[in-house]
Amino acid sequence: MTMHLMRELEQLKRRIFSVVAMVEDNLSLAVKAVQERDRSSALRVIESDTEIDHAEVDVEEECLKILALYQPVARDLRFLVAVLKLNNDLERIGDLAVNIAERAVFLHAIPAAPIPSELDSMARKATQMMKRSIDALVGSDVETATEVCKADDEVDAINRIMYEQIKAAIREHPEHLDALIHLLAVSKCLERVADHATNIAEDVIYLVNGHIVRHGRDVVSQR
């Protein structure tokens, strides 16, 4: 029974990495579509979201199958609960990538506006947080998970800077109002990506320590 359960859990981890790779590719492509006003790349992101949705369902079904067949306890049970929760977070990140891609389609159709330089840094930080949160899950790494939680403050700070820059740009260039509003929405989407990565990292701490730290970030900093 134990060996069979271990094999099932390893297969589940591989499925998770597959979903992560798809979500990461879509997120990067969506941001690139915004930066380069690339409509075709944006449409690729939108069209491929169905594949991510199907993968999310597959992971959920795999988790439920393992729960029914093996009735795991303790750490294995907590791992499956964490996977079910992160699976939802990954699907939401995929939806946010689609939202960004849809903004890119709109931006392609209207006059270009200057893109704040912080957008690229924000995208890289949010994507890195997502990747590191998954690494923390697979490696049961509380230290990395805690670092991801702390990095959320950095993304929030960049989002505030973006807001102020775009607000100033709207005053100076009202002719670019529509484009700037779409860029502000992109910034908000990236901030939400970081939030979902933080959710995953908090679930890792629950997996390892058995403590729920959501809604109590100060608890994270103490561990």
Three-class secondary structure of residue 51 per DSSP: helix
Tens of pLDDT along 104-121? 999 999 998 988 888 989
Tens of pLDDT along 24-54? 999 999 999 999 999 999 999 999 999 999 9
What span, in angstroms and rounded, lies between the C-alpha atoms of 29 and 85? 25
* Residue 112: partners with Cβ closer than 8 Å, 6 or more residues away: 37, 179
Rg of the chain over CA atoms, in angstroms? Answer: 19
CATH code for position 200:
1.20.58.220
Tens of pLDDT along 122-149? 999 999 999 999 889 888 899 999 999 9
Residue 55 belongs to domain spanning? 2-221
Count of all residues that appear for the chain in the document: 223
In angstroms, the Cα distances linking 71 to 2, 15, 67, 78, 210 are 11, 20, 5, 12, 18
Number of domains in the chain: 1
